[in-house]
Amino acid sequence: MRISQSEENYLKAIYKLSEKTDKPISTNQIAKEMMMAAASVTDMVKKLSEKKLIHYTKYKGAILTDTGEAKATDLIRKHRLWEVFLLEKLSFAWDEVHDLAEELEHINSDQLTNRLDAFLGYPKFDPHGDPIPDAQGNMQRRDQSILATLNNGDKGHLVGVQEHSKSFLQYLGQISLTLGAHIEIIEKYEYDQSLKIIINKDKESIISNKVSQNLFIKL
Amino acid sequence: MRISQSEENYLKAIYKLSEKTDKPISTNQIAKEMMMAAASVTDMVKKLSEKKLIHYTKYKGAILTDTGEAKATDLIRKHRLWEVFLLEKLSFAWDEVHDLAEELEHINSDQLTNRLDAFLGYPKFDPHGDPIPDAQGNMQRRDQSILATLNNGDKGHLVGVQEHSKSFLQYLGQISLTLGAHIEIIEKYEYDQSLKIIINKDKESIISNKVSQNLFIKL
DNA sequence: AAATATTTTTAGACAAGTCTAAAAATATTT
DNA sequence: AAATATTTTTAGACTTGTCTAAAAATATTT
């Protein structure tokens, strides 16, 4: 069954929104995520429902079927593999890879995907630390804590980011906080929950709570 | 100015047809090349003409403008670079790369193209021996003769193919005639112009005139 | 539980890119 | 040069994916 690029984007959005909840995803949620009019979403969920990619009941929202979820997982696999390619092979920066991967992910060829995977050495995580599903759709769970929840003296490595916005990633680059960097908490300021940290046992930085909420650390 | 994927395909077709002639390309020629109805072509050439990508006069045919030609050259650059990538890095076969490159070429990012070019080591020819335009649109001319025009005792290397069809490329693969292979003409049969050749100073083959018409040799 | 607010769907419109069938223009044959 | 054939364009239709505005359903507040 042919799935259009547009339909694929809806599946991805529903998948993403479903990660935070078990409840059906509402029309408005999808519309907001995709920056589209709610009416357009209604039309599309009907189509996806006919194609058995989602379960959908009028006014109640959408849930991915197994087929739909497999399709979404495959898109995420492709997206993240391309991100690794762009970063590792073409030396793009952290914050530049997302938009290009967004286009590349729509090329549908299992052979291409699997060969790319092999070429890259079967990476398990992408440049943001997000897990890459394998050809069967299984992905490794990342063992992580949110930096903001840790305390004085705690240390570990940066294994992922929650935010993916360009500005956030650029900011991290500026304070040389890259994936894998070693982080030690020197002090947690009660007042605004900001943290004084040492990056790679070398450079001291003070980061806001908003930042530390978005960093995943492995102790 | 935004050029749609569909418009890009028309530009490529017109470019391809223009290689063989200086005359304007007719609606029917384009329709045949793209396997589309002539009416659709008429609609599209009007659009391309408005966008100043082609010169078009009703009933007379289309010629690429400088802008249109630059755009087409850039598409060919991307197509051929992706073919090199697929073959050299992802070990696809000769006959498998075309369709995927056809999709990849529509991703529009000069940065991506140029970095891919660098990653591949600035190749000058693609896996079919066709020249790859550089970032300025210049391409090297291939120094070549058509195998069918050569005679007993002539020898050289296979530097390109004229046909790009899967079946032709698969056939070449079967008789281990790959790009760069050494070829010597042992005998030319008057009767049907077929050739007895030795490939890589080792394997003898008899190839039809239809095949030798489609092989480019550098003496 | 009635009134009000919000969400979702329906209805109708539009652009892009395609098609078929008919009309118009051009080219070829006799 | 008239008749015929071919090519090209026009006219009108269809699909996909989007939108806005209005109607309907659901949720929240008082």
Q: What is the CA radius of gyration of chain B?
A: 19
Q: Is the CB of B50 under 7 A from strand D?
A: no
In a mutational test of the B interface, the residue from A115, A120, A122 whose CB has the highest number of chain B CBs within 10 Å is: A115
Low-confidence ranges of chain B (pLDDT < 50): none
CB contacts, 8 Å: A100 with chain B = 107, 109, 112
Q: Do residues A177 and A204 both lie within one domain? A: yes
Residue A124 has pLDDT above 90, yes or no: yes
User: What is the DSSP-derived secondary structure letter of residue B88?
Assistant: I
Q: Do residues B117 and B100 both lie within one domain? A: yes
- Model pLDDT, residue B142: 83
Q: Is the CB of B42 under 7 A from strand D?
A: yes
Using one digit for the tens of pLDDT, what is the confidence trace for A29-42? 999 999 999 999 99
Nearest CB partner across the interface for B100, out of A86, A92, A112: A112
Burial class (CB in 10 A: 0-12, 13-18, 19+), B45: buried
In a domain, B162, yes or no: yes
In whole numbers, what is the pLDDT of chain A averaged over residues? 94
* Domain's final residue, options B120, B141, B162: B141
> Which residues of A, range 50-89, sit inside 8 Å of B by Cβ?
86, 89
Q: Do residues B55 and B80 both lie within one domain? A: no
- Model pLDDT, residue A198: 93
- Model pLDDT, residue B96: 92
A91 falls in which pLDDT band (50, 70, 90)?
A: very high
Q: Do residues B137 and B153 both lie within one domain? A: no
Q: Is the CB of A132 under 7 A from strand C?
A: no
Q: Do residues A128 and A151 both lie within one domain? A: no
In a domain, B79, yes or no: yes
CB contacts, 8 Å: A86 with chain B = 112
Contact A109 B89 (CB under 8 A): no
Q: Is the CB of A28 under 7 A from strand D?
A: no
Q: Do residues B82 and B119 both lie within one domain? A: yes
**Rounded to an integer, what distance in angstroms lies between the CA atom of residue A144 and that of residue A125?**
13
Strand C nucleotides where any atom sits below 7 Å of a protein CB:
7-12, 16-22, 25-26
Q: Do residues A97 and A153 both lie within one domain? A: no
Q: Is the CB of A44 under 7 A from strand D?
A: yes
In a mutational test of the A interface, the residue from B79, B81, B91, B103 whose CB has the highest number of chain A CBs within 10 Å is: B103
- Model pLDDT, residue B176: 87
Using one digit for the tens of pLDDT, what is the confidence trace for A150-203? 999 999 999 899 988 888 889 888 888 988 889 999 999 989 999 999 999 988
Provide, in whole angstroms, the distance separating residue B211's CA from nucleotide D22's C1': 67
Q: Does A110 touch chain B (CB under 8 A)?
A: no
* Domain's final residue, options A38, A64, A90: A64
Q: Does B90 touch chain A (CB under 8 A)?
A: yes
Say which CATH number the domain at B37 has: 1.10.10.10
CB contacts, 8 Å: A104 with chain B = 104, 107
Total tally of structural domains belonging to chain B: 3
Q: Do residues A149 and A200 both lie within one domain? A: yes
Q: Is the CB of B4 under 7 A from strand C?
A: yes
Q: Do residues A45 and A108 both lie within one domain? A: no
CB contacts, 8 Å: B116 with chain A = 90
- Model pLDDT, residue A172: 84
In a domain, A157, yes or no: yes
Average pLDDT over residues A53-61: 97
In a domain, B51, yes or no: yes
Average pLDDT over residues A91-118: 96
Residue A58 has pLDDT above 90, yes or no: yes
- Model pLDDT, residue B164: 87
In a domain, A170, yes or no: yes
- Model pLDDT, residue B141: 87
Residue A94 has pLDDT above 90, yes or no: no
Q: Does B109 touch chain A (CB under 8 A)?
A: yes
Using one digit for the tens of pLDDT, what is the confidence trace for B103-141? 999 999 999 999 999 999 999 999 898 999 999 999 998
In a domain, B112, yes or no: yes
The boundaries of the domain holding residue A48 are: 5-64
Q: For chain A, give the DSSP string.
A: ----HHHHHHHHHHHHHHTT-SSPBPHHHHHHHHT--HHHHHHHHHHHHHTTSEEEETTTEEEE-HHHHHHHHHHHHHHHHHHHIIIIIS---TTTHHHHHHHHTT---HHHHHHHHHHTT--SB-TTSPBPP-TTS--PPP--EEGGG--TT-EEEEEEES---HHHHHHHHHTT--TT-EEEEEEE-TTT--EEEEETTTEEEEE-HHHHTTEEEE-
Q: Do residues A47 and A12 both lie within one domain? A: yes
Q: Does B210 touch chain A (CB under 8 A)?
A: no
- Model pLDDT, residue A123: 97
Burial class (CB in 10 A: 0-12, 13-18, 19+), A35: exposed
Q: Do residues B123 and B150 both lie within one domain? A: no
Nearest CB partner across the interface for B90, out of A86, A107, A116: A116
Say which CATH number the domain at A214 has: 2.30.30.90
Q: Do residues B154 and B123 both lie within one domain? A: no
* Domain's final residue, options B42, B64, B86: B64
A49 falls in which pLDDT band (50, 70, 90)?
A: very high
pTM of the shown model: 0.89
In a domain, B69, yes or no: no
Q: Is the CB of B59 under 7 A from strand C?
A: yes
In a domain, B214, yes or no: yes
